[in-house]
Structure 1
């Protein structure tokens, strides 16, 4: 197995054809071969492009068209489904500057969605944060159906990719499904990054989204042609930011803090950021496939993880260790989201 790690540095993200994991007729050898490629990517950069994934191109194109039509609406119309109306479910629209990364406003606007849960669902009845019904706009019509269909397709793909990650760790293919994602926390965002100056009046860079890692297990990102995603690479003590340009027909996949925690840092949640320099709006569609709310995330016991990596808290922008916290995934997530939307924190915490 490739034993490269994030500490070795990287200058590009690999493109991996994952159809052996998504099809029902592939051989065990073919599935293992794809898993080995994914494992190498998780060790080296924590990122890879997935192609051959089987998600309908027409659905993706339809969702992109509807997303652009929504963001073109007057602000007053978009605010009709503002996040303040979503309460504990943490759903709806936020305007440019309404989301913070490391205490600074991002230059993006967006829509927050999650699994569509009615009032009778046990977690909703219990008042569990980030669970409930979505807020959908009246216009453009069809956005609700497109979002729900897209989330269903990417949930299926995420299960398949996690089976490959399990194989890469010499585990049973259903390892994660059996322990963490039988009822996953599924979150979906649609972001629009408007163009603008790169530097604020105080001299600080203005980021579409600043340096961060994702909180959960696996992220699948669809991005448009504008580019702007950068992934942090460190080699010989030097930091460089590697561009992750759009690859037609692909999703950018990256692992989050919980898989970092499970693998004791061998599979690293790598910092990344976005700056829109295209001179026009940039759209992206990040989909987060995370452990269930009440899951207690623990290290994996596997020969594939012998010689765990050192804790990288001192190198992270937030100086926080993903290995030190105690509690459930829900506890971890709540500690993060309150910093992203401090004005809504009291609705959830």
Structure 2
């Protein structure tokens, strides 16, 4: 295992990893599958150290399901604002679900040039976490005039949750851990967050000021799995500059978040990224966040080949340390999300 100092500073491209051995059927040869898994895990580990981002192919998520999701999403965003606000986030309450308009979400205190819908695991009012009033748990809001929307989103959530478990198996193996390490401790019942974002087509303002769909940031949790449309616009930060992450047919873009940075003592590092829609049409993206259980205590893994915590606080985009926090993942994510929607925070928390 490579135990040199971790770095994601100098890279010029984002690797593509075929993960079919991680999602292989159980009937495959166990010897071949384990050898293939170890090889894929090594590629994932290198990507987590060098770039924090990687494409995945061979993931097994139904292409027809993805196409249906994209078609229904375009149908939703094509509606007038009044209709979209019928499922506005203020109606979602503590579950933190529903639609927000352009400018309704903030990054580093600045409005993002996007609109979107928030979803999560579908829990009815009788679920113990809902009964207890735990934030970010509850039922989703679906557009009532698009009948297939609910079924499609829930099928997609199930497929992506399964994929998240498979990828965390690969990440565990890449660290020399048992493959069930993360499931046993953090993700048996993960916090599932899914967003559908629409970035409107915009012109360059006369004052020349940059307009970002999403400004520079890192993600909060363990793992993000992103479906992009064909427009492009995602960029990843390197010491060599901002690197484009264009759409690759049949792929998802994966990136690790601040909690995996924290768990590995900085060995795997969350990488800043941003989005700007420069195409001549609206851009859709579908980020799926696979995160620790809301009540989990996220502590550094004891890796004997990692010498202390590598904390890049002084170099990070927000000058904040992901290693100093104490508390549950729920405490952490609520402190972040409440900054993204300050008005909603006042209403529901």
Normalising to structure 2: TM-score of the pair?
Answer: 0.95
CA contact (8 A) 1:198 1:207 kept: no
Partner of 2:324: 324
CA contact (8 A) 1:227 1:245 kept: yes
Partner of 2:290: 289
Residues 30, 281 of structure 1: CA spacing in aligned structure 2 closer, same or farther, 3 A cutoff? same
User: In the alignment, which of 219, 231, 236 is matched to residue 231 of structure 1?
Assistant: 236
Partner of 1:5: 6
Residues 7, 46 of structure 1: CA spacing in aligned structure 2 closer, same or farther, 3 A cutoff? closer
Partner of 1:102: 108
User: In the alignment, which of 27, 37, 40 is matched to residue 43 of structure 2?
Assistant: 37
Q: CA deviation at 1:166?
A: 0.2
Indicate yes or no: 2:256 matched with 1:250: no
1:20-169 aligned within 5 A: 20-23=21-24, 24=26, 25=28, 26-169=32-175
CA contact (8 A) 2:267 2:306 kept: no
| Aligned-partner Cα distance in 2 for 1:283–1:240 | 25
1:263-302 aligned within 5 A: 263-302=264-303
Could you say what the CA RMSD is over the residues aligned between the two structures, in angstroms?
Answer: 1.4
1:162-241 aligned within 5 A: 162-199=168-205, 201=207, 204-234=209-239, 240-241=241-242
More displaced stretch, 5-14 vs 283-292: 5-14
In structure 1, the gaps of 5 or more residues are none
Partner of 1:342: 342
| Aligned-partner Cα distance in 1 for 2:146–2:247 | 26
Partner of 1:19: 20
| Aligned-partner Cα distance in 2 for 1:137–1:200 | 37
Q: CA deviation at 1:140?
A: 2.0
Write out per-residue CA displacement over residues 230-288 of structure 1, whole angstroms, 9 at most, x where no aligned residue. Answer: 00112xxxx51110000000000011110000001110011100000012100000000
Residues 125, 51 of structure 1: CA spacing in aligned structure 2 closer, same or farther, 3 A cutoff? same
User: Number of matched residues?
Assistant: 343
More displaced stretch, 254-263 vs 309-318: 309-318
| Aligned-partner SS, 1:143 | helix
In structure 2, the gaps of 5 or more residues are none
CA contact (8 A) 1:197 1:206 kept: no
Normalising to structure 1: TM-score of the pair?
Answer: 0.95
